[in-house]
Amino acid sequence: MRVAVISDVHGNVQALEAVLAAIDELRPDEIWSLGDVVGYGADPVRCMQIVDERAVVSLAGNHDLVVSGTINIDMFAHDARDAAEWTRTVLSPEQIQALATRMPGGGREGVQLFHGSIRDPVWEYVVDPRTAELCLERQRRPLCLIGHSHVQLVWGEEDGRVVGGTVAAGATLAYGEGRYIVNPGSVGQPRDGDPRAGYALLDIEQGTATWLRAEYDVRGAQEAIRDAGLPLRLAARLAEGR
Ligand code: ZN
């Protein structure tokens, strides 16, 4: 069983289509989405349609829950808030309803899945060893997948200490019987200095996770953000991967 894992698409249909084209060449058995399909980007309608069609797991992220009204929009400020308000005006009532039914955590094939973390599935960023340690203490399965930080990361326990951090594209982890947290990075708004769209491929039988990147039409995504009247900073950051 091989699984392509995507997260944080954020309404970037140019990035999503490029990642799905690359995924189709890998012919995985399933696609799992770790949430935040909408918010920030200019094509939330199309991104939701595509993810709903392709992914067998679709978690809710904090942006999805704010757009659906499950979480109060006052939790957001600045660009995130402006984008969430705009996203509400373009999604259909059925799509907003669908977002409201999603959960920020779950599991499949023995893998634990969260948008944020095992401790706080909606909001927690697992980007430092101490937070990772607290999460690993609660983890009961070898592998836990998370999104939310938009950075390709791994955290694990080796010889009683927490190791990990950012991961180079193309790297493979053999998670075996250990305990690891893997973040596939963000499809639609990477924040690790590499503008290419991030995703990951799991091989459940082999017990491996591989981090991958796909080039996409960044200009097209930026133009769509400008045309939609969304904050220009949301376009600029795509070119920098920030
Ligand atoms: Zn996100």
**How far does the centroid of ligand 1 lie from the alpha carbon of residue 134, in Å?**
22
**How far does the centroid of ligand 1 lie from the alpha carbon of residue 29, in Å?**
25
**pLDDT of 176 over the 90 cut:** no
36 domain residue, yes or no: yes
Indicate the pLDDT class of residue 158, thresholds 50, 70 and 90.
Answer: confident
**How far does the centroid of ligand 1 lie from the alpha carbon of residue 242, in Å?**
12
120 domain residue, yes or no: no
Strand order in the sheet with 197-203: 57-58, 30-33, 2-6, 197-203, 208-214, 172-174
**How far does the centroid of ligand 1 lie from the alpha carbon of residue 208, in Å?**
24
H or E stretch covering 98: helix 93-100
216 domain residue, yes or no: yes
The one-character DSSP state at 219 is H
**How far does the centroid of ligand 1 lie from the alpha carbon of residue 188, in Å?**
9
**How far does the centroid of ligand 1 lie from the alpha carbon of residue 61, in Å?**
7
**How far does the centroid of ligand 1 lie from the alpha carbon of residue 27, in Å?**
26
**How far does the centroid of ligand 1 lie from the alpha carbon of residue 8, in Å?**
5
What is the DSSP secondary-structure string of 39-88? SSSS-HHHHHHHHHHH-SEE---HHHHHHTTSS-GGG--HHHHHHHHHHH
Give the other-Cβ count within 10 Å of 159's Cβ: 5
- Crossing angle of the two packed helices 218-227 and 13-26, in degrees rounded to 10: 150
Q: List Cβ neighbours of 36 (8 Å cut-off, separation of 6 or more).
A: 7, 8, 9, 10, 61, 62, 63, 64, 115, 147, 148
Q: Are 115 and 148 in contact (CB under 8 A)?
A: yes
Count how many domains the chain has. Answer: 1
Kindly state the average pLDDT of the residues 211-229: 98
Q: In this structure, what CATH number is given to the domain that contains residue 219? A: 3.60.21.10
154 domain residue, yes or no: no
CA distance linking residue 200 with residue 102, whole number of Å: 22
**How far does the centroid of ligand 1 lie from the alpha carbon of residue 76, in Å?**
12
- The pTM score is 0.97
**pLDDT of 171 over the 90 cut:** yes
Q: What domain range includes position 50? A: 2-104+168-175+185-240
23 domain residue, yes or no: yes
CA distance linking residue 6 with residue 37, whole number of Å: 10
126 domain residue, yes or no: no
CA-closest candidate to residue 175, choices 164, 188, 190? 164
- Number of C-alpha atoms within 13 angstroms, CB side, residue 34? 33
SS3 212: strand
Query: Near ion ligand 1, which residues have CB within 5 Å?
Result: 8, 36
**pLDDT of 177 over the 90 cut:** no
Model confidence pLDDT, tens digit, residues 11-41: 999 999 999 999 999 999 999 999 999 999 9
71 domain residue, yes or no: yes
129 domain residue, yes or no: no
